[in-house]
Structure 1
């Protein structure tokens, strides 16, 4: 296989070095590392076609690899084979500012994309925190802090170029803003985690950079009160750009980690963006609403530096916990109907306290998505069991409340066990689609399904 890969692609695109195999054995999850047999660095769609045709012929697994920032093990090649790294496919293919769209290769990261388009007064708003690759964000249907206004990647994708398992190249959409033609293949491939095809080009929507931005924060006595306050804001019709809940334990942890001085209480973080007069009015209305609900410590961050510091702290929450020596992290990213969010947040906090593990609750409460993080000693079976139990209880409760076990991180390895409960008979239909599109099972095997 190695000789055929080198003959087809060239020696510079194929590696079996120990360092590269180790780098591609992991992501940012706590799942066990598994090294691939080969790491291949395609430079164009033709290279990907060659790899998949060879892999399909020899029944060799192929696992796409973006920035390695995933949290559910999607990039871990559990059946070894080929790790397909997209670092060299990071170019802008077509930029159409007048149409508010751009076509890029999958290896470009969201920060690189925004650096390219910001000078034109445009930006790509999906922000999962990490500087993830656009291809990886499509594969997991990523979202993040701006999801309350812009939704997830699935809402931003116009067209994908995808190489199927047998080497066939297809497009899943068009450059039109909407279509009623055929099945919705954009939606099928987005979130499929590399199990149905390999993404080689992505066309996404762009948006105008808001004229004015105001950030603010306030505190409440309980995380449940924070969630209830978030629901009030949504019911008021105010189109916040971001609305994040962070519990007191997480605030304390990030203060220690980043030398911040936020009040160590259960907090809501807001961001308002748009025309200056509208933004000022929205921020004022939300301030009044929060104070009516009994908030404390309301404070605006008007300058760009103050806003940057506030959101830098929010994005560092998980890393602040991961900084604890001798511990590894695990967590949930459940999503529920907004009316059930307060119940879920309180439930998550209570579970962490009952477990005795260090951990926190935070998340994108504007769209019902919240996270827990639990730190445990991987060498202590009791702590491992407590961490797993906490995650399982949260996932199952979210599903029972009409929600999902994963709002944005994806299924990967960690959420496979909840798929039957969440999807029922529809899971067999999904498996049938997988078999139809990848009959030999070479595309990222072992992810989403057992």
Structure 2
């Protein structure tokens, strides 16, 4: 597609929210490969602890494994659980695990004694576990809630076998976020090219600011910067093919991405490997940093009174021939484990997550997200939410995020340490790319 999609086309599902021209069927290579990572006792026992809401107990309860661990997401999840119990007549035991711990060890969790329902992501990572038989087919749930979603969201929730495995709830774009009041005070203008962004960064440094707030202690935030640069330099389809193992990391195109990023590192916040994304975002909140490449969830770090002071711009164009119409907008949702202890209750809970009411509860309590449910009332949306929804709807191409668009073992065991190595020592790009490619070949041919 060589033009931006209109909002009506996006909502009609004409632009898949997570697949390129090949679709997901090309990824049948996932079968037979598992994520090689250790699992902390906390996650292994995820089904055995947590908070219980409502009446009932034992087999009458539905257990819900959640990575909504930060303050705002946790508050949101508790509100969703309370509303689900009232509307569906079920008792829910909420088991909350730190977001990064949950994400990095999900495979081991699903092979153990997982909760009946668990939070997860649309796209490749969802398909991986569906293909391994680690999640249940919930196509019957979709027969109930499917009318609430566009075709794009259904495609993003569908496995290689054509069955549905996830109920999507919210999504949000990655872009460059900042505080409007700070920019107004300093007279800054949103850049549209990388050269303009570099010049702006230099001005911010002269003004005593950290130009780009940055953190990568958890390993995944830096993936967002790589994704943006790769799509701007090499295009959306090359990016998807690289994530799928179909392009070589030793290609000069990839080296150009790292070389371009290396030129931007002097404007990044230093000591990033010892900082969480929340700590980096505090620089935006406190007006000591000028901007940050991050998802719209940065809004969770702002007080309610400051929500209207958040704004963003699209990551700038690098190559005019490529443009800047590819957007990253990950989709979150919920899945059912392979052998739920309370299957009937689990399906009722998933039906609630697929309801318009859940979309309202979630986006009211956490104004950084957009409801995936097309029938959810948007009357309460903030200006930021409205802008995010329009921004995604007008994108020509939509990616999910590196750790959702590629194999989970490759993302966790190769890309996290590789990007952290680059950040700490960006001098040897050739060696870095050779190392990534060698590991990629081993993983993608297993």
Normalised to the residue count of structure 1, the TM-score between the two structures is 0.30
Which of the pair is proportionally richer in strand?
A: 1
Q: Which has the larger radius of gyration?
A: 1
Normalised to the residue count of structure 2, the TM-score between the two structures is 0.30
Which of the pair is proportionally richer in helix?
A: 2
For CA contacts below 8 A with separation 6 or more, give which structure has more relative contact order: 2
